[in-house]
Copies of this chain bind each other. A is one copy, B any other.
Amino acid sequence: MRVAEMNREALEAFAADCKKQYEAFQAQGLKLDMSRGKPSPKQLDLTNGITNCLSEDDYKAENGLDCRNYGCLDGLPEAKAFFAPMLGVKPEDVIVCGNSSLNIMYWAMSLAMTNGVMGSKPWGKYDKVKVLCPVPGYDRHFAVSEFLGMELVNVPMKEDGPDMDIVEKLVAEDDTIKAIWCVPMYSNPGGVVYSDAVVKRFAALKPKAKDFRIFWDNAYCVHHLVDNPPVQANLLEEAKKAGNEDICYMFASTSKITHPGSGIAVIAASQNNLAYLKKALGFSTIGYDKMNQLRHLRFFGGKFENLVEHMKKHKALIAPKFQIVESTLEQELADLDIANWSNPQGGYFISFNQKGCAKRIVSLCKEAGVVLTGAGASFPHGVDPEDENIRISPTFPTEEELQKAMDVFVCAAKLAAAEQALAK
């Protein structure tokens, strides 16, 4: 029965029932964490072979370069070739970096603030600099821009990506808008796959600010949960076709492919952008960890196809967890018609929406020992205007823990709905 159709008596009975269930959970002294998109230990085990896949005398790149020593600023040539298909670009379009794509995104944006893009006026020299933030989105993206003093402007997400009518209008009118954050494949948290039409509209964007950049964080580009994953138009390729190739920086990493703490991040961009980025990079490092690049190459036998196969092992471990979340939500909440949620084809998150109840649900869960990402985290400044969105991260807990956590979650969602209805 839909909660909206319950009369006062039915609502009170429903609330009492939820409350009783909830107190039973509280009594169990649970301690479960679904707060961040972390791979589970079993997923990490898939890559343990990387730790010692290099022998003591295996330190030469294909061109004879000694990977132990300084140098090779933009990455080993074979590492560029290995990662190029991940971003759908040519090897020469790639810089192979250190262990963190967040770090190079921060660097690229901080660099724009101090030195501009491709030699333009530094963004930090303008009175006001704005960045577009598709919401709900990735909290750490928004935090980077906020920390660097940029103004965050919400843009609503639709089912096929950010609302491009709004994006196009805003960037055409306002030259203080210098950037937009995008997670084009299995967006965090909504799981949205940007449609080819959206990718092409991004590629053809004509911002008033000539120093505008799309920060295209393709964090989940190989993180499929289905057998026949969607295929997406490539932004850099489309931008080249549109004569607009300098408009984007594209990022990816192996953080959720190998070991998050010791993976490899990459950046791809036009040759003009890369020339400037490499020059700038030369001031901030003599080179990234080439032994770790070699380690990744050896672990995957130097073939990107092997990485794609490796991702199927991750899928085998995490798809059942997404299934637990989705089926629990479906079984327990669908008939009540109080919430909606994503059923993503990939990525790390399920996005859950229940209007006016997000904070209450997160708080109820916490008091019953289940830690979720903070309500509002997916919005700039942590402010969700509808207080509706919760990001569910199912990968880290075991299936047993996850089921328990979801039992608490749906109980909290029901209780919050009942309280909300009774307060009307």
Q: Are B285 and A102 neighbours in the complex by a CB distance under 8 Å?
A: yes
* A1 shortest CB reach to chain B, Å: 42
- In-complex Cβ contact of A115 among B44, B51, B59, B148 (8 A): B148
Given A56-B49, A148-B114, the answer on whether A261 and B283 have CB atoms closer than 8 Å is no
Q: Is the CB of B51 within 8 A of A284?
A: no
Closest residue of B by beta carbon distance from A69:
B260
Shortest beta-carbon distance, A225 to chain B, in Å? 20
- Binary B-proximity of A29-68 (CB < 8 A = 1, otherwise 0): 0000000101101001001110110111111000000111
Partner of A114, one of B47, B68, B72, B114: B114
* Distance A47 CA – B69 CA, assembled complex (angstroms): 11
B103 touches A259 (CB 8 A): no
* Any B CB within 8 A of the CB of A286: yes
Cβ contact within 8 Å between B44 and A51: no
- Known contacts A98-B99, A100-B286, A261-B71: does B66 contact A56 (CB below 8 Å)? no
Set B102, B106, B140, B259: member contacting A291, Cβ < 8 A: B259
Mask, A87-120, CB within 8 Å of B = 1, is 0000000000011101100110011011100000
The reply to whether B44 and A66 contact each other, CB–CB distance below 8 Å, is yes
Q: A144 on the interface (CB 8 Å rule)?
A: yes
Q: Is A374 an interface residue (CB 8 A)?
A: no
Complex CA distance for A122 and B148, rounded to whole angstroms: 10
A156 at the interface (CB under 8 A from B): no
A245 to chain B, nearest CB (A): 25
Known: A44-B69, A106-B283. A52 touches B55 (CB 8 A): yes
Nearest CB of B to A238, in Å:
30
Decide if B102 touches A255 in the complex (CB within 8 Å).
no
Contact A147 B48 (CB under 8 A): no
Docked CA distance A289–B284 (Å): 18
* B-contact bits for A109-135, CB 8 A (1 contact / 0 none): 011011100000010110000000000
User: For chain A residues 136-180, which have a beta carbon within 8 Å of chain B?
Assistant: 140, 143-144, 147-149
Given known A-B contacts A68-B259, A68-B262, A289 and B292 have beta carbons under 8 A apart: yes
Residue of B nearest to A55 (CB): B52
Closest 4 CB pairs of A and B: A106-B284, A68-B259, A262-B291, A48-B56
| 7 A-B pairs whose Cβ atoms sit less than 8 Å apart in the complex | A36-B70, A38-B69, A67-B262, A107-B284, A144-B283, A261-B291, A292-B292
